[in-house]
Amino acid sequence: MQPPIIAQIKGQPSAHRPIWFMRQAGRSLPEYRDLRANIPMLDSCLNPEVAAEITCQPVRRHKVDAAVFFSDIMVPLKLAGIDVHIEPGVGPVLDKPILTMADVSALETHHLEGEEVITQGVQLVTEELGRPDGTAPYTPVIGFAGAPFTLAAYMVEGRPSRDHLAARTMMYADPVAWHALLDWCARISADFVRAQIAGGASIIQLFDSWAGSLGQANYVAHVVDHSATVLQAAHEAGVPTIHFGTGTNEFLPEMRDAGADVVGVDHRIALDEADRRLGHTVTLQGNIDPALLAAPWEVLEQHIREVLDAGSKAPGHIVNLAHGVPPTTDPDVLTRIVEFVHEVTTDEHTN
């Protein structure tokens, strides 16, 4: 029996609409906070037992239809020997931002190393959740990577930024350095993807969280080919892909054409509108507004019904949030959403 999420990726009917949450493993869970109490973020990602345990926590608790491997888009940079750390309350910080062609050239000597810890971590997860070996039911593990633009934005800015001014300056002012940088980012993200697939990840999601600071024309001219490189690495290993961005609703077809089997949609448009823009060609993922997780249940329930209704117009639908779980979320609300979605979509066969 193929899992519901695999069926929906192929546009086939499933026993219920599959659901998982971006950032489901993490700070909203008390069992996560207990485990992480004395372990810095990136250290926890590089410890296979810790990463595997954190990955399984939300699957046990919420009964979601997929696990997402606990790691971070910056982990491959760390494995490539780049001086990156996660500053609590701030986010990823690089001591030496990448500003010039010389900085980019210096990256060429950096390759992913020690990625066995990632492979082992995913492997441990599949020991608990099962593997696609043909007969027994299993819960798929989603592996992921940061898209080259989003990674490059952190590398050029050196820290989180609202408008990615420095990154966009390099994009216009030094296109040679820019393409060399994105090429390097694509290579290490692709290696990170392959390491997770080697451990048993059966779906890959590419996160382009900050691509929305670009317009369609610049995305096409300066970014999309590099994203395609990472998605292609998954396809070459026979693994389907989800391509997610925020603020990217003006270039959903380009995100699909980069090589996506599923397109992730943020909260800014309804899924039936996304389906229209995509010409009814591809499975969609999304898009419960994370802001409503803190609203009264009746308000949230009405919103979920609308998301399910709009999603049923697409060739396939994986229910998710429109972006990650906010750290302050009451985990019981997430469990209730999973129960509700499973209950109201059981045997619907309308997709």
If the CB atoms of residues 9 and 94 are measured against ligand CP3, the closer one turns out to be 94
Q: How far is the CB of 7 from ligand CP3 (least distance, A)?
A: 22
Terminal Cα-to-Cα distance of the chain (whole angstroms): 18
Residue 255 sits at φ, ψ, to 5 deg, of -65, -40
Question: In Å, how far are 256, 266, 310, 311, 315 from 351, measured between CA atoms?
Answer: 20, 21, 11, 9, 6
Q: How far is the CB of 176 from ligand CP3 (least distance, A)?
A: 26
Given 32, 138, 154, 219, which residue is catalytic? 154
Cα separation, 27 vs 135, in Å, equals 34
Query: Looking up tokens 């089997």, which residue turns up?
Result: 261
If the CB atoms of residues 67 and 304 are measured against ligand CP3, the closer one turns out to be 67
Question: In Å, how far are 73, 298, 340, 341 from 302, measured between CA atoms?
Answer: 33, 6, 11, 12
Given 27, 168, 268, 336, which residue is catalytic? 27
CA angle 335-282-342, nearest 5°?
A: 20
Q: How far is the CB of 158 from ligand CP3 (least distance, A)?
A: 13
If the CB atoms of residues 33 and 280 are measured against ligand CP3, the closer one turns out to be 33
Q: Is position 191 annotated as part of the catalytic site?
A: no
Given 32, 65, 72, 191, which residue is catalytic? 72
If the CB atoms of residues 120 and 246 are measured against ligand CP3, the closer one turns out to be 246
Give the orientation angle of helix 331-345 with respect to helix 48-62, to 10 degrees: 60
Q: Is position 72 annotated as part of the catalytic site?
A: yes
Token pair listed for 348: 């619907």
Q: Is position 36 annotated as part of the catalytic site?
A: yes
Cα separation, 316 vs 328, in Å, equals 30
Residues in the site for ligand CP3, rule: CB under 6 A? 22-23, 25-27, 41, 68, 70, 72-74, 86, 91-92, 144, 150, 160, 207, 209, 324, 327
Q: How far is the CB of 91 from ligand CP3 (least distance, A)?
A: 4
Q: Is position 154 annotated as part of the catalytic site?
A: yes
Q: How far is the CB of 165 from ligand CP3 (least distance, A)?
A: 17
Question: In Å, how far are 6, 140, 203 from 198, measured between CA atoms?
Answer: 18, 14, 12
Q: How far is the CB of 234 from ligand CP3 (least distance, A)?
A: 15
If the CB atoms of residues 208 and 315 are measured against ligand CP3, the closer one turns out to be 208
Q: Quick one: DSSP state of residue 325?
A: P
Question: In Å, how far are 85, 86, 185 from 82, measured between CA atoms?
Answer: 9, 13, 12
If the CB atoms of residues 184 and 207 are measured against ligand CP3, the closer one turns out to be 207
Task: Kindly calculate the radius of gyration of the chain based on its CA atoms and give it in whole angstroms.
Answer: 19
Q: Is position 162 annotated as part of the catalytic site?
A: no
The residues that are catalytic are 23, 27, 36, 72, 154
